[in-house]
Chains A and B, each alone.
Chain A
Amino acid sequence: MLKLQDVHASYGPVLALRGVSLEVPKGGIATVLGANGAGKSSTLRAISGLLHPSSGVIELDGQRIDRLQPERIVRLGISQVPEGRQIFTDFTVGENLRLGAYARNDRDGVRRDLERVFSYFPVLRERRGQTAGLLSGGEQQMLAIGRALMARPRVLLLDEPSLGLAPLVVREIFRIIKAINEEEGLTTLLVEQDASLALGVAQHGYVLETGSVVLHDSAENLRRDDSVRRSYLGF
């Protein structure tokens, strides 16, 4: 469904991605692991069009998307839950969610999806009219995910959803992420620093180091892999 082939990208003179290749099958859920600065966020930015690759190919369901503008990529079906949530702090929860459906024209579909998001995150329904900036960190993360879902994406990208959240909240969010993937068959690519959490929901994992993939395997094998255990799982 989503494929990256030998993608290179840089921020000015600094090379961030050096030949990243990965693939997420339709309906699958994969994770990208790695230390800070390894290139995880940059990978997601490249997919969403926020960072233009200097070489390499990014394909969505066979169609090349690596030269497209972000607005176009959203309309093709890729939604990202960015790092740090990036919600619209001065708008209400409801307005945030409705903005998620900005690119859509089907009013009924949007209404139905809003209901679905509320069923995944009941607390958002409660806080519907509240200013988003006043929500707690966990609620903001749910709002960010809900907003991404409102676009009815074919692929969902999540950038470090656990960042800055309490463990209990994080577990709940990951449970919901897995539920969404299973119930809707939504192809999901999850970037995470918390490797054990990520490997708990993903089927396949990629390990990035200084901009390239050094290891990729099924989540189960990665959990048992010695080097991974030592570097990322704290064993």
Chain B
Amino acid sequence: MTTIGRRPQTIAWLALVAALFFFPYFDTWPGFAWFLRNLEETTGLNLSVFEVTTFAVWLVILTGLNLLTGYSGQISLGHSALVAAGGYIAAILLDPDNSTEVPVAVAVLGAGLGACAIGFAIGVPALRLSGPYLAIATLALIVSLPQLLKLDNIAEWTGGASGINLPTPHAPSFLDGVVDDHQWLYYSVMFPAVIMTVLAWNLMRSRVGRAFIALRDSEIGAQQMGVNVALYKTLAFGLSALYAGVGGGLFAYQQQFVSPESFGVFQSIQLLVAVVIGGLASILGSILAAAFFTFQVGVIGRLTEVIPAVDRLRWAFYGVLLIVMMVSLPTGAAGLVRRLARLRLADVVSAWRSGDVGRAISSLRERPAVVRILGAPSMKQTPTMETKQGGDDRSD
């Protein structure tokens, strides 16, 4: 699939793992610290250990969303609600005001399982709902969520409008001096995040992933191919809810705070924007989505200092980005990366070197990947007769 050899690939992976593992210690090297500071001052990109930990939290959440919307094609605006569920479950379990001392891992796991149960519960009625109806129902869910969280009857647990505050997590005593609090936070969040991402990647390459994609492309078609639609649709909801719940739990743990304002319809849209930009139906897409989601805050903030209007126009920017992506690049940044990787640049480069620029350009233009991006050369391209119903019209 790629043109890079086996050995360089393994080395690249090992380098990546090493970078992830030692990242919290990079800033002890003054050169890197200087680089980070300047990066933030100029572009607003905040690559501190805490922010990268935040990235890991959203990675879990967005991977879950991608499983549901990207792979399985279900538009659910309720993902944010499941994240909230996970966050609140973990927060309640970790709240020092409540009696028992619950270890963080248990709390996060509990959050995941709780949200997963809710997800399966949503999945069952969702079986009967097709695209737009599901979106409507989940939109109603997410808009009513803040109201639910502020209800007087349960405010005792949820903290009502002010939410729940959690104590700062500390590294266990035997690691004192080896890791500081932020570094400990990084490891305790990044580790499960990486595991869950790898798990998702494997799962999507297995039969489950194929079933999800069949489900997305055509429920009726999938059924006729022998895919148990009910099972996989429910599984999609449950699985994505698990990720949302774990992500929500990690969110509560890391941010040390949950409130009704932390979640809502605009966050749901923001999550959707992120996965669309990152790339639907792609684990790489989820990673890019999490990167976008986390780091754009800083970049937009920086931009606002230069152009004040940006602050209020932030959502217009996201909206336009979403629309443009849907129209021109539905596979997102990950799709672009995949297409560029398929471009065999070696031939083009050699043609360039031999001075034959014209031939290099035309050979580049004819590459299937480029054709797919830019359309067939010198052929008039017009919309075809493909319809949403009526099956496959491309028989001849």
Contact = CB atoms under 8 A, between A and B. Distances in A.
Contact between chain A and chain B defined by CB under 8 Å:
yes
Interface of A: 10-13, 15-16, 34, 36-43, 45, 50-52, 54, 83-84, 86
The CB with the most chain B CB atoms within 10 A, among A13, A40, A86, is that of: A13
B2 interface: no
A54 B381 CA distance: 8
Contacts of B395: 36-37, 41, 83
B396 A12 contact: no
A202 to B, nearest CB: 18
Interface string B217-260: 00000000000000000000000000000000000000000000
B393 A12 contact: no
Given A15-B379, A38-B396, 5 more contacts: A12-B375, A13-B376, A36-B395, A42-B396, A52-B380
B390 interface: yes
B52 to A, nearest CB: 41
B391 interface: yes
A16 B371 CA distance: 16
Contact of B376 (A12, A38, A45): A12
Given A11-B384, A50-B385, A51-B384, A41 B393 contact: yes
A43 B385 CA distance: 13
A54 B372 contact: no
Contact of B396 (A41, A50, A52, A54): A41
Given A13-B372, A45-B385, A84-B391, A36 B379 contact: no
Contacts of A52: 380, 382
B388 interface: no
B396 A13 contact: no
Interface of B: 368, 371-372, 375-376, 379-382, 384-385, 390-391, 393-396
Given A11-B384, A51-B384, A16 B396 contact: yes
A54 B380 contact: yes
Interface of A is mostly: loop
A39 B371 contact: no
A83 B380 contact: no
Given A13-B371, A50-B385, A51-B385, A36 B391 contact: no
Nearest to A163: B395
A34, A43, A86: residue with the most chain B Cβ atoms closer than 10 Å: A86
A11 B375 contact: no
Contacts of A37: 395-396
Contacts of B396: 16, 34, 36-43
Nearest to A211: B396
18 contacts: A10-B376, A12-B375, A13-B376, A34-B396, A36-B395, A37-B395, A37-B396, A38-B396, A39-B396, A43-B396, A45-B385, A50-B384, A51-B385, A52-B382, A54-B379, A84-B390, A84-B391, A86-B390
A120 B381 CA distance: 40
Nearest to B377: A13
Given A13-B372, A51-B385, A83 B393 contact: yes
B384 A13 contact: no
A15 B381 CA distance: 11
B375 to A, nearest CB: 7
B343 to A, nearest CB: 15
A191 to B, nearest CB: 8
Contacts of B381: 10, 12
Contacts of A16: 396
5 pairs of A and B residues whose beta carbons are closest in the complex: A41-B396, A52-B382, A13-B376, A54-B380, A40-B396
Query: Which of A11, A43, A51 has the most chain B CB atoms inside 10 A of its CB?
Result: A11
Nearest to B380: A54
Contacts of B394: 11
